[in-house]
């Protein structure tokens, strides 16, 4: 799970690069996202929860904030803009931590660690 600090860093990263950012969030846990989204950010939530619709919408965005997992990996890969990811996503004892020890083996070249 991403931390509130990661969301804040990601939002700040894009707000410094671009004026008038609107963030679109799709998550299995929109309640957590609503509670931890940085205050004052312009945010739209995808409450449909259809994986195909959520993925198509997120892939079509200008840029992407990913957490971890194969679903967000593919969104970052298919998106043509900047992809940022949580740099400390490999945690021992988790599914990804059981398969990867080096983030460079998982993230796509050019993605931005935060």
Closest Cα to residue 77, out of 28, 114, 113, 110?
A: 110
Q: What is the pLDDT of residues 24-45, one digit of tens each?
A: 999 888 899 999 999 999 999 9
Q: Which residue positions in the chain have pLDDT lower than 50?
A: none
Q: What is the pLDDT of residue 48?
A: 73
CA distance 72 to 78: 10
CB 78 within 8 A of CB 61: no
What's the pTM? 0.88
Encoding tokens for residue 8?
Answer: 């804040």
Q: What is the pLDDT of residue 50?
A: 86
Domain ranges of the chain: 4-113
Phi, psi torsion values for 31, nearest 5 degrees: -60, -50
Integer distance in angstroms from the first to the last C-alpha of the chain?
14
Phi, psi torsion values for 13, nearest 5 degrees: -55, -50
């Amino acid at each position: 799970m991403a931390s509130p600090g990661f969301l804040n860093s990601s939002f700040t990263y894009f707000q410094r690069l671009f004026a008038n950012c609107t963030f679109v969030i799709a998550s299995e846990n929109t309640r957590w996202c609503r509670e931890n989204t940085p205050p004052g950010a312009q945010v739209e939530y995808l409450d449909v929860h259809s994986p195909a619709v959520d993925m198509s919408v997120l892939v079509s965005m200008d840029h992407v904030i990913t957490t971890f997992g194969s679903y967000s990996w593919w969104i970052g890969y298919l998106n043509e803009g900047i992809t940022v990811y949580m740099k400390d996503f490999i945690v021992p004892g988790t599914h990804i931590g059981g398969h990867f020890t080096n983030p460079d083996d998982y993230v796509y070249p050019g993605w931005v660690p935060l």
